[in-house]
Amino acid sequence: MIRALPPGAVVFACFEISSMERRWPDSEIFRPEAVRWVDRAGRAGSALVSWLAGQSLPLEKPTTAYVTGEAWLCAIVHAHLVRERGFPPRAVRAMPYWKSRSKSL
């Protein structure tokens, strides 16, 4: 997705990973200077949401946030960006692509 943006676009990307050893090498990432890695702590997604809450996000220009991951994470990040950070609802694009299965199944 970053590769498809215009050259002057401001990029702010973050990935939550189970351990820092799972990080992709900078040589495999387009615009690695724009990518942040968050070490997972507890339930998947909780460290990412906590990290996001502490970030200064640009809203002076038209901004679009792309969120992908488990459905519940997309919903939490969408709510955080809209309710707490002032993003217009249509400026947050969510693409949930998996959901954890309950261990009781």
Q: What is the CATH number of the domain that holds 58?
A: 3.40.50.80
Mean pLDDT of the residues in the chain: 82
Quick check: is 103 in a domain?
no
What is the Cα–Cα distance from 62 to 9, expressed in whole angstroms? Answer: 10
Q: Is residue 104 part of a domain?
A: no
Tally of domains within the chain = 1
Establish if 73 belongs to a structural domain.
Answer: yes
d(CA 11, CA 51): 17
Position 104 pLDDT exceeds 50: no
Angle between helix 71-79 and 46-53 (nearest 10):
10
pTM: 0.75
78 in any annotated domain:
yes
C-alpha distances (whole Å) from 95 to each of 21, 32, 42, 54 are 26, 22, 23, 23
Residue in the structure block whose two tokens are 């993003």: 87
**Mean pLDDT score, 34-58:** 84
Mean pLDDT of 35-63: 82
Range of the domain at 48: 2-98
